[in-house]
């Protein structure tokens, strides 16, 4: 396992939040100078590889994996695709959590699920099923997410109170425990 592949994996999992040089250095047990050299190699690799849609971007001292500008048209087309695309299990989990516990932050969703939910949140926003409804009054002021009127329409209900009552559901495994955590 090379440093380049480890950096790539960490940045992929970090998603839109990215990771700072310091965080990457700690996670990889590398000096900032050595890590900077590895990041430059990764950036060059992406620039040279015409078969890769990724590039490395540094913004506000945070590194992220993003798509190359050349893919903007195809990504716009994807974002405009109709909802008839099936939602992934992860997206459905995130949507369910938001529907029953809204409003809440991405970190709160991640804590319930145990994994990063930024990709699912982006997809649900692109489909118009959730939206940002404000900022939580805590350090960093993270976005709060809630369902939209389109979500209600899509579900065929008029109010969130019409969602099935889950309080009487018997929990048999960890997956169904997602909705019972306070």
Looking at per-residue confidence, does 89 or 182 come out higher?
89
What is the average per-residue pLDDT within 25-35? 94
User: Count of CB atoms within 10 A of residue 93's CB?
Assistant: 20
pLDDT at 170: 63
Please give the domain boundaries of the chain with CATH numbers for all domains.
3-71 (1.10.10.10), 81-179 (1.10.10.10)
What is the average per-residue pLDDT within 135-164? 88
% of the chain beyond a pLDDT of 90: 55
| pTM for this model (two decimals) | 0.51
Bridge partners, residue 146, by sequence: 131
- The answer on pLDDT for 76 being more than 80 is no
* Cα gap 130→123, rounded to integer Å: 9
Q: What is the pLDDT of residues 142-153, one digit of tens each?
A: 999 999 998 888
pLDDT at 178: 53
Looking at per-residue confidence, does 11 or 59 come out higher?
11
Least confident of 71-75, 110-114, 169-173: 169-173
At 127, which helix (H) or strand (E)? Answer: none
């Amino acid at each position: 396992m090379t440093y380049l592949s480890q950096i790539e994996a960490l940045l992929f999992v970090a998603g839109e939040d990215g990771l700072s040089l310091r965080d990457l250095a700690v996670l990889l047990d590398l000096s900032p100078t050595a890590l900077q050299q590895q990041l430059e190699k990764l950036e060059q690799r992406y620039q040279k590889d015409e078969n890769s849609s990724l590039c490395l971007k540094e913004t506000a001292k945070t590194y992220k994996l993003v798509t190359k500008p050349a893919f903007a048209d195809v990504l716009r087309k994807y974002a405009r695709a109709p909802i008839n695309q099936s939602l992934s299990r992860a997206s459905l989990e995130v949507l369910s959590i938001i529907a029953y516990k809204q409003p809440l932050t991405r970190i709160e969703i991640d804590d319930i699920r145990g994994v990063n939910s930024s990709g699912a949140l982006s997809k649900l926003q692109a489909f118009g099923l959730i939206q940002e409804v404000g900022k939580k009054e805590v350090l960093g002021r993270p976005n709060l997410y809630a369902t939209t009127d389109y979500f209600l329409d899509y579900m065929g209900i008029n109010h969130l109170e019409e969602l099935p009552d889950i309080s009487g559901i018997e929990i048999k495994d960890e997956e169904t425990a997602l909705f019972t955590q306070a």
